[in-house]
Amino acid sequence: MTFIKNIVGKFTGSESKNGWPGLIEAYKKWLPVTSQTPIITLKEGATPLIELLSISKSIGKGVKIYAKYDGLNPTGSFKDRGMTMAISKAKEDGCKAVICASTGNTSASAAAYARRGDMRAFVLIPDGYVAQGKLAQALVYGAEIIAIKGNFDKALELVQKMSKEFPLTLVNSVNPYRLQGQKTAAFEIIDELGNAPDWLCIPMGNAGNISAYWLGFKEYFEAKKSTKLPKLMGYQAKGSAPLVYNQIIDEPKTIATAIRIGNPVNKEKAYKAKAESNGTFDYVTDDEIISAYKRLGKEEGIFCEPASAASVAGLLKYSNNIPENSTIVCVLTGNGLKDPDCAIKNNDASFYTGINPDMKEISKILGL
């Protein structure tokens, strides 16, 4: 991949096995860091852009669809891009403890980076609505976890208050360093494709990530690293779509617990990005999410979490509107292993249990 060579060529190769130094080091001149900033990194970024061969073929019209598979970050989600920045800056400021509200991925990422930077990590989560893999991570990374009787929006309200009351750095996406780190995903896409895509399809919860991508696409465009800006296609789950209805949802509902958010804090930024990019916000149903989730797995070999599949579900919903010969990137924000319960409940696999270890019996079952 030429872009990895281009970036990595600048480094000694001693930083990690393949020479990738982590996104702050790689994109330093685009980020608010100085020589004084202690860089806390797990070598996040440089995630693969994978062509979706089967889905591109089924849409036809010469369209090329790629997945930006950010589930391959160190803690399994795009949050690591923002967290390396937020935690490094918190460390620079002498912070001893960070706090966040989370539907799961932010808590895993915050805990990993905070502990690596020798800080305490306090996380507030909605009791019973965080996928198993994410909870397992927060526990193992040594977070101090408070599960509240209430949803994400309530938890965010609380941590915003607490960070004003106590000496705690808030690391939700209201922290501006989060978006700075996350904008590097747009840089990577342009570095690899040689230009911006025509559309960027992305799931939205608090709408930090879509806002960050827009920052990144605009900065590279202004620096003449691309000749166009993408249309932002932001998708929410139907039962949890405050940005589609333009109203707060008091009791958001969706199988995609990562984006079960009723009052997005980055609402204004997201609407501005939508207007500037001439984009579209829409919802997808849980059935559409699961259908895209399954297709990604069994046709493309890509396992993402349900919230991430919303980007592909949205693209499929808009397939009649896709311009001929366009290039589209769908952001797969989190790894499928984050939510094993969803995987086990939603698949079309043939799974035979309690079978005797007998070739005759097995071959009969398999129709061989």
Give the x/- contact pattern for ligand AN7 in 93-132, rule: CB under 6 A: ---------xxxxx--------------------------
Helix or strand run (H / E) with residue 328: strand 327-332
**Pairing between strand 97-101 and 64-69?**
unpaired
Quick check: 199 and 326 in contact, CB under 8 A? Answer: yes
Question: Between 117 and 262, whose beta carbon lies closer to ligand AN7?
Answer: 262
Which of 237, 270, 249 is CA-nearest to residue 153?
Answer: 249
Would you state the structure tokens that stand for residue 23, as one six-digit string? 């996104």
Give the x/- contact pattern for ligand AN7 in 161-200, rule: CB under 6 A: ------------x---------------------------
Question: Between 101 and 196, whose beta carbon lies closer to ligand AN7?
Answer: 101
Question: Between 262 and 334, whose beta carbon lies closer to ligand AN7?
Answer: 334
Residue 206 interacting with ligand AN7 (CB under 6 A): yes
Q: Nearest approach, Cβ of 11 to ligand AN7 (angstroms)?
A: 29
| The only residue of 73, 77, 226, 240 in contact with ligand AN7, by rule CB under 6 A | 77
Count CB neighbours of 352 within 10 A: 9
Stretch that binds ligand AN7, among 2-10, 191-199, 202-210, 316-324 (CB under 6 A): 202-210
Residues 212-271 that bind ligand AN7 (CB under 6 A): 258-259
| 131 CB-near residues (< 8 Å, 6+ apart) | 104, 257, 258, 305, 338, 339, 340, 341, 342
Question: Between 203 and 230, whose beta carbon lies closer to ligand AN7?
Answer: 203
Would you state the structure tokens that stand for residue 45, as one six-digit string? 């970024």
Which of 256, 253, 349 is CA-nearest to residue 311?
Answer: 256
Question: Between 195 and 285, whose beta carbon lies closer to ligand AN7?
Answer: 285
Burial of 33 (C-beta count, 10 Å sphere; 0-12/13-18/19+): buried
Is residue 331 classed as helix, strand or coil in its secondary structure? strand
**Pairing between strand 64-69 and 327-332?**
parallel
- Compute the distance between CA of residue 270 and CA of residue 247 in angstroms, rounded to an integer: 14
Question: Between 259 and 343, whose beta carbon lies closer to ligand AN7?
Answer: 259
Question: Between 8 and 261, whose beta carbon lies closer to ligand AN7?
Answer: 261
Stretch that binds ligand AN7, among 141-149, 242-250, 302-310, 341-349 (CB under 6 A): 302-310
DSSP tag of 284: E
Which residues are near ligand AN7 by CB under 6 A? 77, 102-106, 173, 203-209, 258-259, 305, 307-308, 333-334
